[in-house]
Amino acid sequence: MATRTAAKTDSRLAARLAALASLGASVIHFAVVPNHWQEWTPAGLFFVLIAVFQLVWARVVLVRSTWPVLAAGVLVNLGGIAMWAVSRTAGAPFGPHAGQPEVVQAADLCALLLQIYVVMGAGWVWYRGLRGEPVPGFASAVILLGAFGVVALASTVGVASGVRHGHGVAEGGGHHGTSAEHADGPDAHHSEPVDPVRERVGVPAGPVPVRAPLDGPAPAAEPLEDSHGDHGHAE
């Protein structure tokens, strides 16, 4: 009984594409492990397990394209896609941020794209069988080259995004702020107000002098004397 797809067939090409996509998804998931591990250890462990599975599956599917191997690849990646969709819409059902939808990041989209490719490739091999239809060698090479470029780009963008950004929630008050917020620190809320007049003319900021209030009421203004009246009395 054959356990490997026939060479130069669409089934063999689909298996190679699925393996390549699985390898790229594994690289992205390995890259986001540290952030998830720091936030919640079970989440980090989950990404370690799925990354290891995708890495091993990428190798196994090329040498043993059996129905159990194909089914495992389809089911695990479909499960990952479903969990991602739930966490970005309704929020994860458990964990420190249960019920809070998470922010969609580039790493998520790249891994999602590659996992969809895995499901499509494995599903095609499952549907067509191990023999498949013949594919010209030149066409197969062109498709593989294009797929390699797509996977390499998606993996690079996904890794860069996964390392740079943390695991946040979509409410805006998540546990990951911007770098400016972290740089300000807690004392940023107690900073002194800046006088716009001083800032415009270049005077250093400092305490604004306040005039002391008068001890008593201001003296009433004396009425002006009539100069003509004074002259009249003098005469």
Residue 176's pLDDT band, with cuts at 50, 70 and 90, is: very low
Q: What is the pLDDT of residues 91-134, one digit of tens each?
A: 988 888 889 999 999 999 999 999 999 999 999 999 988 778 89
- Give pTM, 2 decimals: 0.69
Amino acid 166: pLDDT? 61
pLDDT at 132: 81
pLDDT at residue 6 in the model: 75
Cβ neighbours for 205, distance < 8 A, ≥ 6 positions apart: 192, 194, 195, 198, 199
Alpha-helical regions (H) of the chain:
10-31, 33-39, 41-63, 67-89, 106-128, 137-164, 179-184, 196-201, 227-234
Stronger pLDDT, 30 or 209, i.e. the higher one: 30
For residue 128, give Cα distances in angstroms to 105, 118, 125, 151, 170.
35, 15, 5, 24, 42
Name which of 43-52, 80-89, 160-169 the model is least confident about: 160-169
